[in-house]
Structure 1
């Protein structure tokens, strides 16, 4: 349930020594605003997930027509040392990514935002207090506890926007993927400042005793995903889901999920190579 202020449209200077910039016109604001506009229109945001730590791949992803791109620092190849470079590569394509941080620690959230993320995806949120911790790390005082440290303040016009402007632009997405998280999902979804509750269905099934089952072969897993969706609807918060394919994304978007990830860069690369060499096999003796 988001309660952040609307971006200030008036050009301001924050007095930090960084350049002035008109509110809402930075790459972060444009990237997060794309999701917010779709949600406001009742349309799902469709995204892509990145496991790779390559700036060429990052720029390609940034230029694609996805509504959002998530850089995965929890299970992906990228490290904190890679993140500034990857954010810069996406920025060249006019995009600021979401970043899945490794853990729900304020220092991780703040570092991702300092590097240029449009928002964070915070894993393993099991309670309303966990969600409040993530929200506080996304906002400067007095709204939160984010530390001021504009990494790009001397580099670009939107590198040191006023604190309230940055608070308004950032997205805070929390992940529910355990039994404890599902049990507390109504309270989690109602935390002010949470923009979306995102489900990791693999961890959710494992954590709830269903192994590697999916909604396709388990009514219990289907019910868990529906429980999260119902809680988000009641709270007025977007429900998000990590999907294995476009069919899954279309199915759950049709049921009401507003944030669906449909592709992962490593999978796209593998499928592209398989298709290319299937064509090669038809033309050459292999």
Structure 2
């Protein structure tokens, strides 16, 4: 099991352990199941980070949190012994570097359409000479002895790019072979929309099924991780069986609503029974 004590290692140590946990699962060819953090409340962030999921992803692209709230959310998660994955708003080096400085274990970079896009994302994740990341760990002064050296940061970070468009699919074989790219994560709604299939899913469209499978196959051949945003548990287990190794299986807002509705049904059912 993962050591989830926060101790005195600060954000760098927690992020390294969180990334190592994912790498350990993938080295064993086992799926990592994650939770999507849509809400911007530090109390919720700490609760979900303390849960059993292999990773939690803070969504800065479509979630409620603004970039300025990220340090506080990550600090709350670190208190629970977990550093999250962060989906940055766009493929901008400043956004990637800021998420990593704040203590993210990995970044999801959206709308990567080419090998050049992928290389820009990977470069922002590593310090020179491997990349172009600027030195500035946010919590360095809180660490005994200061921040770890750049090479340790580089080794711990995971760079995951998102292929969501026709251009990205067309460049897929080049994207997965870009040095520093650790995996490709698919947002199936954008992938279907971007490839002309509207809101179709793998369940009702053989074309969408083939698109997702193509990403999985390309990742397997290149030796990188295939990830997928899933609408429910059945979808996550289905694609885990087809080789996807990073699967977001639930979202905090959906879990909250489902729990409220389940409790209400139990209450009203009990009242009707007298």
Given the two structures, how large is their TM-score scaled by the length of structure 1?
0.89
**Corresponding position of 1:258:** 245
1:151 matches 2:177 = no
| 228 and 159 in structure 1: CA distance in 2 versus 1, 3 angstrom threshold | farther
State the shift of 1:157 in Å. 3.7
State the shift of 1:284 in Å. 3.7
CA distance in 2, matches of 1:238, 1:278: 40
State the shift of 1:281 in Å. 1.5
Task: Show the 5 A alignment for 1:16-35.
Answer: 26-35=13-22
CA distance in 1, matches of 2:126, 2:40: 27
Pick from 224, 234, 256 the counterpart of residue 269 of structure 1. Answer: 256
Gaps of 5+ in 1: 1-19
**Corresponding position of 2:230:** 243
CA distance in 2, matches of 1:28, 1:52: 21
State the shift of 1:159 in Å. 6.0
| 46 and 72 in structure 1: CA distance in 2 versus 1, 3 angstrom threshold | same
State the shift of 1:158 in Å. 8.1
Task: Show the 5 A alignment for 1:90-109.
Answer: 90-109=77-96
| 147 and 252 in structure 1: CA distance in 2 versus 1, 3 angstrom threshold | same
Given the two structures, how large is their TM-score scaled by the length of structure 2?
0.93
State how many pairs are aligned. 263
**Corresponding position of 1:45:** 32
1:119 matches 2:106 = yes
RMSD value, Cα = 1.4
Gaps of 5+ in 2: 1-7
Task: Show the 5 A alignment for 1:172-211.
Answer: 172-211=159-198
| 38 and 208 in structure 1: CA distance in 2 versus 1, 3 angstrom threshold | same
> Which one has the bigger helix percentage?
2
CA distance in 1, matches of 2:25, 2:134: 30
User: Runs of 4+ in structure 1 displaced over 2 angstroms?
Assistant: 156-159
1:77 matches 2:61 = no
CA distance in 2, matches of 1:197, 1:207: 16
1:279 matches 2:266 = yes
CA distance in 2, matches of 1:258, 1:283: 41
1:88 matches 2:75 = yes
